[in-house]
Chains A and B, each alone.
Chain A
Amino acid sequence: MQHPDEGTIHAWLDGELSADESAALEAHAAECSECAARIAEARGLVAASTRILTALDDIPAGVIPAATIPSIGIARRRWYDRTDIRAAAALLFVAAASLVVVKSRNSSAPLARTETASLKSTAAVSADASGAESKLAEPPQMQSAAAPAATAPATSPQTAALKAASHAPTPPSSTRDRRQDKPALEKDAAKLGIAAAPVSVLRDAASNAASNAASGTVAGVIVGAAAGVAGGRSAAKTSASANEVVVTGVTEATDAVSTAPLRQVRVDTRSGSRRTVYQLPTGVEVTLLEAPPAIDEKLFGGIQPQQRRAAETPQRLEAAPAPPPPVAAATAVAPMNTIAWTEGGRKFTLSGRLSTTELEALKKRLMQIRR
Chain B
Amino acid sequence: MSDVDRLFRTYNAALVRYLTRRLGDRDWAEEVAQETFLRALRQESLTNERAWLFAVATNLVRDEARKASRQRRHLALLAEEERESIVEPEETTLERAQEAALARKAIDELAERDRLALLMREEGLDYSEIAEALELSPGSVGTTLSRARRRLVEAYEALQKEREQREKNAAS
Contacts and interface: CB of A to CB of B under 8 A. Distances in A.
Contacts of A7: 140-146
Interface of B is mostly: helix
Given A53-B107, A53-B122, A14 B96 contact: no
B154 A55 contact: no
Contact of A6 (B26, B95, B146): B146
B20 A61 contact: no
B152 interface: yes
A208 interface: no
A67 interface: yes
B132 to A, nearest CB: 14
A271 interface: yes
Nearest to A45: B149
Interface in B89-127: 90-93, 95-96, 99-100, 102-104, 106-107, 118-119, 121-122, 126-127
Contact of A5 (B20, B141, B143, B152): B143
A272 to B, nearest CB: 6
Contact of A14 (B140, B145, B161): B145
B143 A6 contact: yes
Interface string A27-45: 0000000000000001001
A311 B112 CA distance: 29
A60 B154 CA distance: 27
A49 B142 contact: no
Contacts of A152: none
A61 B92 contact: yes
A14 B153 contact: no
Interface string A1-22: 0000111111100101000000
- Interface size band for B: 35 or more
A49 B149 contact: yes
B21 interface: yes
Given A10-B142, A53-B21, A56-B21, A48 B92 contact: no
A53 B146 contact: no
B12 to A, nearest CB: 15
A52 B142 contact: no
B17 interface: yes
Interface in A253-279: 271-272
Nearest to B147: A6
A7 B143 CA distance: 4
Contacts of A62: 92
B150 interface: yes
Interface of A: 5-11, 14, 16, 42, 45-46, 48-50, 52-53, 55-58, 61-62, 64, 66-67, 271-272, 292-296, 345
Interface of B: 17, 20-21, 24, 26, 90-93, 95-96, 99-100, 102-104, 106-107, 118-119, 121-122, 126-127, 140-154, 156-158, 160-161
Given A56-B103, A271-B151, A293-B157, 9 more contacts: A14-B121, A16-B141, A49-B122, A49-B153, A55-B102, A56-B24, A61-B90, A67-B95, A345-B161
7 contacts: A7-B140, A7-B144, A49-B152, A56-B104, A64-B99, A271-B151, A271-B154
